[in-house]
Structure 1
Amino acid sequence: MKKVFSILSAIFIIMGFSLIYSISTGWGVHDLLTFGTTGPVSLLFFNIYNFLGLVFAFIGEKNKFRDILIACSSMLLVYTLIFTFIGIYGFREA
């Protein structure tokens, strides 16, 4: 059962990275991964995939793969939280 959590963690990490990549390059997967939403709800999806990847990595099977999953999802979560902070407070209209 713990292997399933590791696989789910890898899937959510890939989804989170794909979302970041599609936003930065205009790839078009952004609409699919956020279910066509825009605005603050889109920022929620931006963070939730990486958070779920981190949660599933912690409860996954204990081995080197788990350590890699935790490191990758932690870095992506910090990256998306910084972008969310910039998006919320940096682009505010006066």
Structure 2
Amino acid sequence: MGLEAAGFDPVALFERNRHACAALRANRLGWRVLEMDLRDFVGQEHRYAYDVDLIAAGLPRVKSYAATSAPRTATSRNCSRRPYGWSRKYGQGLY
């Protein structure tokens, strides 16, 4: 959202979790959401990604001792995951 507010327009978002993909697709209709791991991305199959200005990613998901030893409840969730995204900056001559 911060990159969106800064004027970046997403070219593609990568997410492995199907529920997170569904939420992204429902909330951002114009965004290209790819349900895959970024490590499996083959650039030749996605020519639209050839001219990007920024590749942004969330931190890798690392389980802490507190997270693995804490009891899970029906309402607890891991909300730390963020989708990978490629963006183009529009304005200021970056295309």
Q: What is the TM-score normalised by the length of structure 1?
A: 0.27
Structure whose residues are more often strand by fraction: 2
Structure whose residues are more often helix by fraction: 1
Larger Cα Rg: Structure 1 or Structure 2?
Answer: 2
